[in-house]
Structure 1
């Protein structure tokens, strides 16, 4: 479904945005060195590793640079639909 966006920060941009698709990678890192110790498949997470439950997409305003959840831009676009 096509939905109008509007930036909640600059309040004027309705047409220039960057869509950011998030690619989740579950990993275990060495706390001292930052080396990657283990990579988990989403079905095989350890008991102490929570699965990512954030948004699939984020949006950046190409005018002011604000990055937020897509829902924020949609709600502001619906509220300020001209």
Structure 2
């Protein structure tokens, strides 16, 4: 499970759905999970502050916002600044 903390779960859900991700679980503006039929890794979005509290870290964060995927989806940046890049083959 790859769980991202986002500012607005509903807006981020729309962003990922518009890119072909299928939401399999959704709990209002608090949490959403996407199916990944071609991958063993699932993507989920959770309110940033709530996820930070669970993880015991600052909601502002200091880590990388770059992710690398093995896909033909092409590179993109989501509403929270997560930069998705395609792994070179």
Which of the five TM-score ranges fits, normalised by the shorter chain?
under 0.3
Greater strand proportion: 2
Greater helix proportion: 2
| TM-score of the two chains, using structure 2 as the length reference | 0.20
| TM-score of the two chains, using structure 1 as the length reference | 0.21
